[in-house]
Amino acid sequence: MANAFFSDLLATISERGRTLLRRGESAEARFVKQIDRLETFLQSRVYHEQFPDAPMASFAQEVLETIDDPLLAAIRDEALKLQGPQ
């Protein structure tokens, strides 16, 4: 579902805009990349509930190191508080 959303979103952006997003050369591109990392991290929390022995710590470590947007960091931090580190 997220992939379809981003595909639809990219279809509305100019070729130059898509190039900047792919390269991570704009504030918007960096924000989208952080959203993607946050979404992957949140998915890992759900998977961990189903498969508690699966190694998921790297997802938490990645978002701790790479998300600096205040809103996204607040979402990340709340998820960590709710379920604790894994």
- Predicted TM-score (pTM) of the model is 0.67
pLDDT in tens, 3-59: 677 677 767 777 777 776 677 668 888 898 899 999 999 999 888 888 888 888 888
Domain count, the chain: 1
> Residue 23 class from Cβ within 10 Å (0-12 exposed, 13-18 middle, 19+ buried)?
exposed
More confident: 2 or 25 = 25
CB 58 within 8 A of CB 28: no
What is the C-alpha separation between 21 and 8, in angstroms, rounded? 14
Residue 43: give the domain boundaries: 2-83
Q: CA 49 to CA 76: how far, in whole Å?
A: 17
